[in-house]
Chain A
Amino acid sequence: MNVTMSSQSTISSLLLVEDTPSLQMLYRTILRKAGYNAICASNGQEALSKFAESRPGVVLLDLMLPDSDGMVVMREMLALQPSTRIIVITANGSVNAAVEATRAGAHDFLVKPLGDIRLISAVANAHAESQRDLPADISSSEQTTDAIDSSFLGQSEVMHQLHKKISAVAKSMAPVFVLGESGTGKELCARAVHLKSARSKNRFVTFNCSAIPREMQEAELFGQAQRSNAPSSGIRAGALIKADAGTLFLENIHDMAPAVQARLLHFLQNGTAAPTGGGDQVRIDVRIICAATRDPAEEMRSGKLREDLYYRLFVIPMHVPPLRDRGEDVNILARHLLVQIAQEEGKTFTGLSGDTTAIFRKAPWRGNLRELVNVLRLAVVLHDGPIVTPQMLPPELLSYADAASAVTQTGLPSGATPADVLSGMTMAEIEELVITSAIRRNAGSVPKAARELDIAPSTIYRKRESWAS
């Protein structure tokens, strides 16, 4: 029964609304042990008053209150602050009650008696979600840089094209499939589609198939009917219901269990789904956006992704380019991130030296933005500003960039041929250098780079996959 969350810092933005004093005491105690400081209310009026004062990110709300209907209280709270995550608590665990609460905006639905683990995991999940959905003006000051919300900054042609495509597909209901290497900002791309769509006022729910054990995927996606000997049985809302009227972001669908793929296909065909373990079919209106680091067509051919599901989902492909193909964007991003990281670390850094920007333009950035953030953080933590110089960069980055900068920045050494400059590099390294340089010269366009090198674009895509692996 003991649940501790030692890494969870104490937060005050949690409101507990429960009218039965002993239950209020019990839940408050469980939450306090887990590091949460709950503000308590015993009726609807008190709840709304304390909500308006404290503007909590998470609310635990008993649906049956002595002076008001909990659903009405929930709607008022969401009208006041839509980003709030409301977890409904009830002793009435019917499927209809769960669906009604979720459609009205409840983040989660808990049926009494509440286990401490379930309670804390629901609160932790809701708290994480409420932080993720903070408006941009708040998130910029509270989120860490590795949240990669800056990854769409840039002036490259490839990003300009991506922005145009996002605006165009946002108007449609057609499924979108976002492709790109790890760390390129696929989720941000999906969020951008959602935020520009007519669904932007409703939820954007993320479901990462790789992060959820296969045996739990069905219940997490479709919800779970909870059965027990107690007279109160209920339903735990799944990601589909949570995303009703909004967008469901499915990551790494090739890791979805075959049985769940079959149920998802059925949902896409009929628009209705029932919770796992029984319950009524419910009509759900959701737009699906998928994302993957691997080629979904290849996953289909290898049998990991159902063919019929692939053709249902792979309607509008969008490719988020890797950082190395975004030309000067890397330095625009680096300068932006540097200021943020320096603030977080209490240092004064104002910019990048010319040599550093040259190295950044040449580096392969296989980890994309995450790698860039790590490189900058290392420099900031270990050194004093105000300018990031090559001496502050990891050796592997310097060694990689040496040959490239020798050729492209300073010209050939006296008497040397281009082949001399490449001495010491393996054929694979030279090939990568030549191809990435061609892509950069062509403003990130793989087809143009392929034409310049007189090879097929598919060859470049295949090579890049092998470099990233």
Chain B
Amino acid sequence: MTSEALDRKIFLALLETGGSDVAAALAEQLTQDFARLHSDLQAYLPIPDSGADLNFQAIYMTAHEMKGLALTVGAVALPELSLRAEKMAQNKDGAALAVALPEVIDESDRVRTALTQFIENM
């Protein structure tokens, strides 16, 4: 587990909330949700020189959902990065998103990896 991606105490407390019988299912669902959002954001990445418009509304919704999930699991940097992308999408700032979105995708990948490693060691 990479400590800088995830706050271990917060995540552990989260898994304990539902008790041991629910912890494994909850961890599995969290991993799936991060994978889905990661995949969605990758699909929304601007393709250089394609001239295609960005789907700002979809990016906004996905970044917002990512932020809520990241806050819940105790992700360290991902909430802030997601919030930035959410605001850029709201302002339809494609140039800024071209830089910020890959950062969100990378960080969410780190969080998902941290989650997976944590669960494997449970």
Q: Tell me the A residues contacting B by CB distance below 8 Å.
A: 1, 19-23, 25-26, 29-30, 33, 64, 66, 91-92, 112-114, 116, 230-232
Contacts and interface: CB of A to CB of B under 8 A. Distances in A.
A25 B79 contact: no
**Which A-B residue pairs are the 9 nearest by beta carbons?**
A91-B68, A29-B18, A22-B29, A231-B83, A113-B72, A113-B71, A22-B30, A112-B68, A22-B33
B62 to A, nearest CB: 10
Nearest to A114: B72
Contacts of B71: 91, 112-113, 230, 232
B17 interface: yes
B4 interface: no
B33 A21 contact: yes
B83 to A, nearest CB: 4
Interface of B: 13-14, 16-19, 22, 25-26, 29-30, 32-33, 61, 64-65, 67-69, 71-72, 79-80, 83
A23 B72 contact: yes
Contacts of B14: 26
Given A21-B32, A29-B26, A231-B83, A1 B68 contact: no
Nearest to B10: A113
A29 B30 contact: no
A1 B71 CA distance: 17
Nearest to A112: B68
Contacts of A20: 33, 65, 68-69
A180 B73 CA distance: 52
Contacts of A25: 18, 22, 25-26, 29
Contacts of A64: 61, 64-65
Nearest to B13: A1
A66 B65 CA distance: 10
A232 B29 contact: no
A55 to B, nearest CB: 28
6 contacts: A22-B69, A25-B18, A91-B65, A91-B67, A91-B68, A232-B71
A116 B16 CA distance: 11
A232 B26 contact: no
B80 A231 contact: yes
B79 A33 contact: no
A365 B93 CA distance: 72
Contacts of B33: 20-22
B29 A21 contact: yes
Nearest to B21: A29
B50 to A, nearest CB: 26
Contacts of A19: 65
A33 B64 contact: no
Interface of A is mostly: loop
Contacts of B25: 25
Contacts of B22: 25, 29
Contacts of B13: 1
A26 B64 contact: no
Contact of B17 (A22, A29, A91, A231): A29
B11 to A, nearest CB: 11
A29 B65 CA distance: 20
B68 to A, nearest CB: 4
Given A22-B30, A23-B72, A232-B83, A33 B18 contact: yes
Contacts of B18: 25-26, 29-30, 33
Contact of A91 (B29, B30, B32, B64): B64
Contact of B79 (A21, A26, A116, A230): A230
A116 B72 CA distance: 11
A418 B80 CA distance: 85
B65 A26 contact: no
Nearest to A24: B29
Contacts of A91: 64-65, 67-68, 71
Contacts of B72: 22-23, 26, 112-114
A70 B104 CA distance: 25
Contacts of B67: 91, 231-232
Contacts of A29: 17-19, 22, 26
A231 B67 CA distance: 9
A22 B28 CA distance: 9
B72 to A, nearest CB: 4
B80 to A, nearest CB: 5
A22 B83 CA distance: 20
A112 B71 CA distance: 7
A29 B21 CA distance: 11
Contacts of B68: 20, 23, 91, 112-113
- Listed residue (A20, A66, A91, A112) with the most chain B CB atoms within 10 angstroms of its CB: A91
A26 B22 CA distance: 9
B89 to A, nearest CB: 13
Contact of A1 (B16, B65, B80): B16
Contacts of B79: 230-232
Nearest to A90: B68
A309 B21 CA distance: 55
Nearest to B18: A29
A116 B22 CA distance: 15
Contacts of A33: 18-19
A113 B11 CA distance: 12
A114 B72 CA distance: 7
Given A25-B25, A25-B29, A64-B65, 14 more contacts: A20-B65, A22-B29, A25-B18, A26-B14, A26-B17, A29-B18, A29-B19, A29-B22, A29-B26, A33-B19, A91-B71, A112-B68, A230-B71, A231-B79
